[in-house]
Structure 1
Amino acid sequence: MAANGPDVGVRPARRADAAAVADVQVRTWRQAYRDLLPDAALARVTSPEARDAWRERWVDAVTAPPSPRHRLLVAVAADLVVGFAAHGPAEEADHDPGTAAELITLLVDPLHGRAGHGSRLLAATVDTLREDGVTTLVTWAFEGDDVTRAFLGSAGWAPDGTARTLDMGEPVRQIRLHTDITGGD
């Protein structure tokens, strides 16, 4: 299957996609975060019970989003959900939620990586947010997640100097990245 053929694309998620989105999330976390998160925390957030809870959260994200600007997009290949991106208004006090948004998550199934799905999801997210009048996009990444940081860095993202530490049984540091999506230089 060609990575850029007519059988691949990005579309708004549907209720029926929620289980596939949860499956992609769990598979991706198990692989991508295995060296970044404490074992017990990773086991907890990727357990069968957690997968079911994630599925319900993704159903809610599609059927009852917290705001009209919260959206879930899916990457598809041959009608199979192979990745997803969720975004909403930026919630930190140092950003105006009218002009700043947060890329809450962007994950591509490890079985379908390196086929352009992440880039398509990111481009579709930016296009959607530009239509909403957003000028700045932020996201949080684990400090040691070199893959995500390199991917976003190649698309013009950079750390903005803000960091936070999550308690996942032991401290796990995240850094905030940002980019200007106005299309200007």
Structure 2
Amino acid sequence: MADAGVHTATANDVPEIIRIHRETWRLAYAQLLPEEVLSTLDTDEAWSLAVHSGAVLVATEGEWTVGFVVASKAPDEEVANADGSLPEDAATTALISVLTEPRWGRRGHGTRLVAQACRELVNAGATRGIAWVPEADKASRNFYERLGWTGDGMVRTLDAGGRPLREVRMSGPLAVRLDA
């Protein structure tokens, strides 16, 4: 494998982040999401704001950008219990979303991204992570399980262009081993 690395995203990374997001979701979620949803996934402005906030890391292999992770404090509505109450650790729970382009999969990029994000989150005071994953996305659920995360029983159904999309919440420690 060529040199692999992880760095904080810059404005120069935004076009590749958008490309990876759109192409990977079109491939992975074509059966779950209608085309009109897939075609409006994100905008330059939304990604530019996320990158500017420092919440995005990108993975590279050689000269190629191969994936990214978005990680920051979880909003209360993302971490709330089914009854709307907040768990005791709500203020120190982080929301993490990782995506590696499939052709670069199984090379450790996703784990490296999450491990670096977790180190930064712990340094900022976070104690636990959560991620929302489509219930039908077994590959993503397996990825988080290999990191020691489990489904915590929370489920939500989103309206994806008139088609329901059921997601499960994965939850786990912010101590990710690079050999996971």
Structure 1-normalised TM-score?
Answer: 0.82
- Residue-by-residue CA offset, 1:21-59 (whole Å, 9 max, x unaligned): 0001011101111222234433443xxxx5xx1x32211
Specify the alignment match of 2:28 in structure 1.
32
Asked whether 1:121 is paired with 2:113, we answer yes
Specify the alignment match of 2:14 in structure 1.
18
Specify the alignment match of 1:173 in structure 2.
166
Q: What is the alpha-carbon root mean square deviation over aligned residues?
A: 1.8
Specify the alignment match of 1:83 in structure 2.
67
Instruction: Give aligned-pair identity as a percent.
Output: 36
Measure the CA separation in 2 of the matches of 1:135 and 1:151: 20
Number of residue pairs matched? 166
**Structure 2: where are the runs of 5+ without partners?**
81-85
Amino acid at match of 2:29: Y
**Matched-pair contact (CA < 8 Å) for 1:72–1:84:** yes
Deviation of 1:114 (Å): 1.6
- Residue-by-residue CA offset, 1:157-181 (whole Å, 9 max, x unaligned): 1111111110111211111110022
Structure 2-normalised TM-score?
Answer: 0.84
> Given the superposition, is the C-alpha separation of residues 30 and 10 from structure 1 closer, same or farther in structure 2, using an over 3 Å criterion?
same
> What SS does the aligned partner of 1:134 have?
coil
Q: Aligned match of 2:124 in 132, 138, 150?
A: 132
- Residue-by-residue CA offset, 1:87-114 (whole Å, 9 max, x unaligned): 11111342445311110x2111122122
Measure the CA separation in 2 of the matches of 1:85 and 1:154: 17
> What SS does the aligned partner of 1:156 have?
coil
Moved over 3 A (4+): 95-98
Asked whether 1:59 is paired with 2:48, we answer yes
